[in-house]
Amino acid sequence: MRPQILFPLFAEIRTLSGVGPKLEKLIAKVAGPLLRDLALDLPVGVVDRSYRPTIAAAEAGRIATVEVTVLDHLPPRVKSQPYKVRVSDATSTMELVFFRAKTDWLAEILPVGLRRVLSGRIERFKDRPQMAHPDFIVTPDDAASLPQHEAVYGLTEGLPAKSMAKAVRGALDRVPPMPEWQDAAWRKVRGFPSFGEALTTAHAPVHEADLSPMTGARQRLAYDELLANQLALVLIRARLREGKGRAISGTGKLKAKAVAALPFALTDAQLNALAEIEADMKSERRMLRLLQGDVGSGKTVVSLLAMLGAVEAGLQAALMAPTELLVRQHYGTLEPFCRAAGVRLAALTGRDKAGREQILADLKDGKIDILVGTHALFSDDVAFRDLGLSVVDEQHRFGVHQRMTLQAKGRADVLVMTATPIPRTLALTAYGDMEVSKILGRPPGRQKIDTRVMSADRLDELVAHLRTALDRGERAYWVCPLVDESEKIDLAAAEERAVMLRGALKLNVGLVHGKMKAAERDAAMAAFKAGETRLLVATTVIEVGVDVPEATIMVVEHAERFGLAQLHQLRGRVGRGTGKSTCMLVYHGGLGESAKARLATMRDTDDGFVIAEKDLELRGAGEMLGTRQSGEAEFRLASLSAHGELLAAAHDDARLMLSRDPELQSPRGQALRVLLYLFGRDEAVRYLRAG
């Protein structure tokens, strides 16, 4: 049950006076549907109205507050022209400009011959001062009511700034006094205000500096949000660990056969990661471990050996991947080694209708040792005889909830693999419920990729270079970006480029995009893999896990629009075979500072962990994993690049608190329950037995 103290904040926006259905929709689009969302929607700017010059001395472009006499009204001769009002002070005259003006209202609010105080941005037009649509027009007697400093909030089309500000004030008025959930000693050391004081201060900026994430008020609020996040993850982890695990210890026989069949020796990094995983599997507690490895670092082999350990112990294993294409790819990779080890392997996707019943029956009878599948493995009709280990590939497609669903199938240990190197701060917020193993470095035989940055003005040169390479029998990818949120435009850009390249190269050019039926997409990929097409134009659907060792060229068009993590993933599609590989990052138009820094980073390093830290620094956590995925932490008050130190403290605080008070029954524990509900971590509260 949500604590009663929070009831006022969980009321809907429409309960505020002056907020009708239309306004409610617009405000909800920007902030969210509840008063809590409005209260936590901090200002993005501040308007300073304390600048009070004469008209003659007013600086163009600044917000100014001036006292004037209204001289006359100048209605337009043509309806499309603006309505003007001339005003003056002792130093000069100025025109007020109104578009689509209501003349009666203007006559009433700006009566000729009387004095008024105006506040708005002064510009110069034909060297004369002008103010378009003043923000405020009041009588001199009411001048004291003008706000000296005004908070500016994020808006959307059709939402007036004044309406948004008024709604936020209304929400703040309903914030009740909260119990103190922060540790008293910690608060004292940091000099943090109370939650209520911090909220009031954050919503009343005076200078630009007050918008900094490093102010005391904003740090306090950021810490509250990070603490809620960490507390929730520690609670979830405790619940997952609570389920009785079992010690899984293999004989090593099957692993030895698979290793003997490998065409390369395992690296020290792979062996270290495997040792950590096996130590976890041998313990009585259920494993929940994240295996991080850069593109091509050999995570799949490590996970195979872990799964063989489970099979050696008489149990079954499952490998889950986000797409059918990847399921088939994993199946193809694992099959020869499973055959060498004498292990029964099967694949199951949502599309596999034929043979599905037989696979399910064999799975239940224990005739299948390792099953590879999509999230179809979540289905209720998929029953294992005895599942010992679940491996999830490409973690950022699966959130905490899916991890739990998977672990609920029996008493299985869970190993999650990701090829997106994750900075420590982001790992703590999205995967704080997991232990982490890393495979550093690239496996033997992996090629270094020559990365070049070039302007689209040199597209002709690039196409000529491509023609030469393709004539030599090489294969290439050409990736077109998501132009905007519309997949139609995305698709049109890819189709257009494919047509252009077919004409220029006189070759059969393949095309892969997200709108294709899965069977068509697989056929296009298969043709590229078999060498029937040597050039594949694609949208970012090829970002994850596609493996064609013969592909040696990656062209990324509009590279300036991609995040670093995504560019690194795309580059990892080449350099998988013996041939020298190249990645061409093509940018259009001028480059901003951030885009320049991203492309320079790509040119200078191929270390995914360095790239991930740089990506977090340049973009913040919001876009770190490319398109927003389930399982990604979203923060409204905390900035991971600014508040990394606070995150580490929240992580330690949460663990210590729950070790002392696992059911959150103490006075501080009760206050922390309020915090969890305030930040929407209701699910975590349900894990408290007394919750």
Which of 442, 479, 431 is CA-nearest to residue 609?
442
DSSP string for 173-214: HTPPPPP--S-HHHHHHHT---HHHHHHHHTS--SGGGGSTT
Q: Is the confidence at residue 691, as pLDDT, over 60? A: no
Which structure tokens are listed for 34?
A: 């509840």
CB 302 within 8 A of CB 258: no
Query: What mean pLDDT, rounded, does the chain reach?
Result: 87
Task: Summarize pLDDT for 233-286 with one digit per residue, the tens.
Answer: 888 777 766 666 789 999 999 999 999 999 888 989 999 999 999 999 999 888
Helix ranges, 250-378 (H): 253-261, 268-282, 299-312, 324-341, 356-365
For 253-439, CATH number?
3.40.50.300
The b/e string for 70-92 (b: 16+ C-beta within 10 A; e otherwise) is beebeeeeeeeebbbbbbebeee
Question: pLDDT-derived band of residue 603, with 50, 70 and 90 as boundaries?
Answer: very high
Tell me what pLDDT residue 405 has: 62
CATH of 50-146, picked from 2.40.50.140, 2.40.30.170, 1.20.120.530, 3.40.50.300, is 2.40.50.140
Q: What is the DSSP letter of 142?
A: G
Domain locations in the chain? 4-46+157-208, 50-146, 253-439, 449-605
Tell me what pLDDT residue 391 has: 92
In whole angstroms, what is the distance from residue 111 CA to residue 532 CA?
A: 80
Cα atoms found within 13 Å of the Cα of residue 134, Cβ hemisphere only: 25
Tell me what pLDDT residue 212 has: 95
Helix ranges, 637-690 (H): 644-660, 667-678, 682-685
* Cβ atoms within 10 Å, residue 594: 11
Residue 213 burial by Cβ neighbours in a 10 Å radius (0-12, 13-18, 19+): middle
The answer to whether the pTM exceeds 0.75 is: no
CATH of 449-605, picked from 3.40.50.1370, 3.40.50.300, 3.30.300.30, 1.10.357.10, is 3.40.50.300
In whole angstroms, what is the distance from residue 511 CA to residue 473 CA?
A: 19
**How remote is the C-alpha of 678 from its chain's centroid?**
22
Question: pLDDT-derived band of residue 366, with 50, 70 and 90 as boundaries?
Answer: very high
Task: Summarize pLDDT for 16-48 with one digit per residue, the tens.
Answer: 999 999 999 999 999 999 999 999 999 999 999
Equal fold, 253-439 vs 449-605: yes
